[in-house]
């Protein structure tokens, strides 16, 4: 971390300490995963598809570069806290772990291989094949269940849009991307 500014170094150390306290011994590390490919770029960093080495399972890793820590440290700690609180709900992307390295923070989550609602809408628009009312209602019901669960934990998602609704291999809608979520007082 020698090439980082003092502010970035301090923020990285603080973030590592906060996450260590939050996660306890049940965390993971970079040695547990191998990179497969980049999936997308967001405002805070890059989302990567990675393979968990011990079982070969494909998962996602949201990577936030160390240089961003001074500006986003409290947001990413809150995101990890929210993911841990809401983990286990069938319509919320599951949390696997998080770790800090010299080049950044990785938040590891389930991979929804069915893509996003935005991708489905775009694909159907290209084919001039509108979504069926039953498809819309099914997705709506699943998302309201996810939101009810979040709100019961006093979590506000604050970025609900088709690009943040994912589908797993069973075609279940899963709400994700808690980067700007907040915990209500």
Q: Which residues are catalytic?
A: 159
How far apart (Å, rounded) are the C-alpha atoms in residues 83 and 57? 19
Token digits of residue 78: 């809150």
Token digits of residue 43: 């405002």
In b/e form, how buried is each residue of 38-47, taking b as 16+ CB within 10 angstroms? eeeeeebbbb
Overall residue count recorded for the chain in this entry: 185
Q: What secondary structure, in 3-state letters, does 41-53 show?
A: ECCCCEEEEEEEC
For 179, residues 6+ apart whose C-beta sits below 8 A from its C-beta are: 42, 43, 44, 75, 76, 79, 159
Q: At what angle do helices 69-86 and 6-23 cross, to 10 degrees?
A: 10
């Amino acid at each position: 971390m020698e090439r980082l500014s003092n502010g970035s170094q301090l923020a990285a150390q603080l973030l590592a300490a906060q996450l260590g306290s939050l996660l306890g011994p049940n965390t993971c590390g970079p040695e547990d995963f191998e990179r497969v490919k980049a999936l997308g770029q967001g405002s805070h960093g890059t989302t990567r598809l990675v393979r968990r080495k011990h079982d070969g399972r494909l998962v996602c890793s949201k990577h936030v570069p160390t240089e961003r820590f001074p500006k986003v440290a409290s947001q990413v700690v809150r995101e990890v806290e929210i993911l841990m609180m809401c983990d286990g709900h069938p319509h919320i992307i599951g949390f696997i772990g998080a770790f800090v390295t010299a080049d950044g923070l990785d938040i590891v989550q389930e991979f929804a291989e069915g893509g996003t609602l935005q991708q489905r809408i775009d694909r159907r628009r290209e084919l001039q094949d509108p979504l069926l009312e039953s498809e819309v209602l099914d997705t709506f019901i699943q998302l309201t269940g996810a939101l009810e669960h979040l709100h019961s934990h006093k979590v506000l998602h604050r970025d609900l849009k088709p690009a943040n609704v994912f589908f797993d291999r069973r075609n279940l809608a899963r709400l994700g991307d808690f980067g700007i979520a907040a915990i209500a007082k």
